[in-house]
């Protein structure tokens, strides 16, 4: 009986101790979770502090992002088929050429300032030199004017290349200055990690600017290719009319 009582006391003691440990462990885990959630909830990213970490790099990246967006928006508003190949303008020029009013068509092309007017003017001005010269003159003028469009949108491609390199430069400089000071103590060693966190932000910003610039460049590239193909087809159609009208006029003479 005494042995059973002693065993019962030991078992009861173990159960009470286990319950105490379980309660304490649960309370400790709950306190840790609460503290962690409070720290996460109250922690925030100080953008001003991040910007002050590399003001020159961030200023350059912000300027490049604004430039990219401005070029993209301006190109979307100006690169339209109705502006590059106006329907009324094309009908007027075709009518004058069919009626063999070449001088009037040439004057109308010089008066109207659009993307196709200079191309058609080159073709009309060289009509007396044969069909091959007419086509070469129009295609050459089209390439010259198209090069200005490609130069404009190529700036976006340059931004997409330079932005991540600039961001990486800011990160490398931040790491260099963080580890360059050899007089740091153990208490201030945590400031190194703060500096590294701020420095890495330049790489993140550079990648964001580069991705946006590449998206802008890709959308405009397909738009420019489609518009230039349409302009070329219209110019070739007018070139055929010029050759037909010139042949008829020579035959009548």
For the chain, give the number of residues: 253
Residue 192 burial (C-beta neighbours within 10 Å; 0-12, 13-18, 19+): middle
Q: Which of the four pLDDT bands, split at 50, 70 and 90, describes residue 50?
A: low
Is residue 156 within 8 A of residue 216, CB to CB? The reply is yes
CB atoms under 10 Å from CB of 93, counted, come to 27
Q: What distance in Å separates the CA atoms of residue 20 and residue 15, rounded to the nearest whole number?
A: 9
Q: Which of the four pLDDT bands, split at 50, 70 and 90, describes residue 90?
A: confident
Is residue 61 within 8 A of residue 205, CB to CB? The reply is yes
Average pLDDT value for the chain: 74
What percentage of residues in the chain have a pLDDT greater than 70?
A: 68
Lowest-confidence pick of 32-46, 60-74, 135-149, 196-210: 32-46
Inform me whether the pLDDT recorded for 211 exceeds 90: yes
Q: pLDDT tens digit string along 101-149?
A: 888 888 888 888 788 888 888 888 887 777 788 888 888 888 888 888 8
Inform me whether the pLDDT recorded for 241 exceeds 70: yes
Identify the pLDDT of residue 251. Answer: 47
Identify the pLDDT of residue 70. Answer: 94
pTM equals: 0.68
What percentage of residues in the chain have a pLDDT greater than 90?
A: 17
Q: What distance in Å separates the CA atoms of residue 54 and residue 224, rounded to the nearest whole number?
A: 37
Look at residues 72, 75, 109 and name the one whose alpha carbon lies nearest to residue 94: 109
Identify the pLDDT of residue 124. Answer: 84
Q: Where are the domains of the chain?
A: 47-252
Residue 192's contacts (CB-CB under 8 Å, 6 or more residues apart) are 178, 179, 184
Backbone angles phi, psi at 115, to 5 degrees: -65, -35
Look at residues 151, 87, 147, 96 and name the one whose alpha carbon lies nearest to residue 123: 96
CB atoms under 10 Å from CB of 225, counted, come to 12
Residue 163's contacts (CB-CB under 8 Å, 6 or more residues apart) are 61, 64, 206, 207, 209, 210, 213
Q: pLDDT tens digit string along 158-198?
A: 999 999 999 888 888 877 776 665 565 555 556 666 666 66
Inform me whether the pLDDT recorded for 214 exceeds 50: yes
CB atoms under 10 Å from CB of 243, counted, come to 18
Residue 48 burial (C-beta neighbours within 10 Å; 0-12, 13-18, 19+): exposed
Residues 211-221 have a mean pLDDT of 93
């Amino acid at each position: 009986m005494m042995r059973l009582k002693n065993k019962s006391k030991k078992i009861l003691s173990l159960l009470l101790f286990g319950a105490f440990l379980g309660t304490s462990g649960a309370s400790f885990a709950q306190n840790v979770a609460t503290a962690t959630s409070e720290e996460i909830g109250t922690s925030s990213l100080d953008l001003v502090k991040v910007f002050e970490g590399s003001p020159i790099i961030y200023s350059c990246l912000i300027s490049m992002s604004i430039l990219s967006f401005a070029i993209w928006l301006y190109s979307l508003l100006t690169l339209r088929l109705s502006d590059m190949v106006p329907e009324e303008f094309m009908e007027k020029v075709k009518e004058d050429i069919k009626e063999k009013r070449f001088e009037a068509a040439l004057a109308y092309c010089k008066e109207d300032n659009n993307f196709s007017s200079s191309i058609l003017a080159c073709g009309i001005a060289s009509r007396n030199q044969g069909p091959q010269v007419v086509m070469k003159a129009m295609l050459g003028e089209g390439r010259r004017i198209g090069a200005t469009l490609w130069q404009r949108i190529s700036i976006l491609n340059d931004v997409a290349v330079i932005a991540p390199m600039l961001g990486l430069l800011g990160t490398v400089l931040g790491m260099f200055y963080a580890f360059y000071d050899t007089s740091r103590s153990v208490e201030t060693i945590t400031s190194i990690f703060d500096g590294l966190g701020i420095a890495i932000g330049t790489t993140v910003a550079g990648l964001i600017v580069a991705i946006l610039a590449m998206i802008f460049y890709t959308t405009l590239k397909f738009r420019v290719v489609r518009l230039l193909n349409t302009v070329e087809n219209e110019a070739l159609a007018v070139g055929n009319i010029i050759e037909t009208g010139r042949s008829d006029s020579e035959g009548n003479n």
